[in-house]
Amino acid sequence: MSDRLYIFDTTLRDGEQVPGCQLNTVEKIEVARALEELGVDVIEAGFPISSPGDFDSVVEISKAVTWPTICALTRAVEKDIDVAAEALKYAKKGRIHTGIGTSPYHIYNKLNSTPEEILERAVAAVKYAKKYVEDVEFYAEDAGRSDNEYLARVIEAVIKAGATVVNIPDTTGYTMPHEFGEKIKYLVDNVRGIENAIISTHCHNDLGMATANTIAGIINGARQAEVTINGIGERAGNTSLEEVVMTLKSRYQVLNIDTNINTKNIYKTSRLVSTLMNMPVQPNKAIVGRNAFAHSSGIHQDGVLKNRENYEIIDPTDVGINESSIVLTARSGRAALKHRLEVMGFELDQAQLDEVYGRFLDLADKKKDIRDDDVALLVGDAERKERR
Ligand code: KIV
Ligand code: ZN
């Protein structure tokens, strides 16, 4: 039997913290509804104490969304937790996400505290949140750079205090996949009562390893992944939803883990978030970038035209993209040009094709993007030449 991974989407909290990505409440509701349609299990809707706008968004998203759990972020501070609980009052299923830093950087430099005091504050915050909701998630901020033994003590104590989910963030995107995987395994092996909570990953992408770290965490026992659409988030971003979900789907035979995501909605949700947040997706972004299913070199185009699977590991229709594209460039071969001509309704014999191909290469050397009207003109020129 396969295992289930819970998808916790933080596009509207960690993603929305990015300068220039701020959304108004109406826009946030639109994204939340799209996330619900996509099938995410948890929507982190905001940090209610941070501003009246964030508070209102959590309230309105709670009203607008039915199926996913709505989560509100807090620090390990009673006032934050009171305000989060108030913002969640309309949520059908509400979760408070509270926590504190556990790395030496956070304990000493940021919080000017001691490990023992941090442990006490962590436990107190979870107990306080439990007064309001059954579902309490604890985050050990900067767990990536936290000492494993100390982290295990904190996690054991918060589970005992009632935490239902324990989040192990690689806040600074510092770890490498083998280290992050070992960290999760260490917790699985050393925390008494770990079976009473779900382990969550929350990886940042500072070294470009957020997805790899998340997958390493899942392989070692995490069953919730915190992600954002298009990987947006603080600095270099968070783990991207589409990468984790499509890794699990494409490598199901190896991982044997499922999600509830309706993958056919991935592309349209990516477009919605990119448009509303005014945050372009890089063309070579895995899964949702403009070039993710575009083939431009002659050898690849020929291979794909013979059988899509020669160069594609994902069927584009699985993520809601109609078809892969064969881009005509100076690197394209005759096979790609012939294919485009056929799609456009031109049947050329070999001599005609050779003639048009020669002209095509001349043009493609001068022009980066060869469009259908360019191709039509090339065929027209060839036909006129033949008539003369
Ligand atoms: O990156 C992080 O540690 C966070 C926590 C608040 C969960 O975003
Ligand atoms: Zn984060």
pLDDT along the chain (388 residues), means of 10: 93 94 96 98 98 97 98 98 98 98 98 98 98 98 98 99 98 98 98 98 98 98 98 97 98 97 98 97 97 94 95 97 93 94 94 95 90 92 62
**Residue located via tokens 């430099």:** 109
What pTM was estimated for this model as a whole?
Answer: 0.95
- Residue 383 has what pLDDT? 65
Closest protein CA for atom 5 of ligand 1: 141
- Residue 369 has what pLDDT? 80
Closest protein CA for atom 7 of ligand 1: 139
Q: How far is the CA of 205 from the centre of ligand 2 (A)?
A: 10
- Residue 388 has what pLDDT? 59
* Nearest alpha carbon to residue 169 among 180, 179, 178: 180
CB 46 within 8 A of CB 22: no
* Cβ of 205 less than 6 Å from ligand 1: no
* Cβ of 14 less than 6 Å from ligand 1: yes
* Cβ of 44 less than 6 Å from ligand 1: no
Angle between helices 78-87 and 115-130 (to 10 degrees): 30
* Cβ of 139 less than 6 Å from ligand 1: yes
**Residue located via tokens 């079976």:** 195
CB 42 within 8 A of CB 300: no
- Residue 95 has what pLDDT? 99
Q: How far is the CA of 203 from the centre of ligand 2 (A)?
A: 7
Ligand 2 being an ion, which residues bring their Cβ within 5 A of it? Answer: 14
Element (H, E) at 4: strand 3-4
Single-letter code of the amino acid located at 298: G
Q: What are phi and psi of 261, to 5 degrees?
A: -75, 130
Closest protein CA for atom 8 of ligand 1: 14
Q: How far is the CA of 357 from the centre of ligand 1 (A)?
A: 54
* Cβ of 141 less than 6 Å from ligand 1: yes
Q: How far is the CA of 370 from the centre of ligand 1 (A)?
A: 45
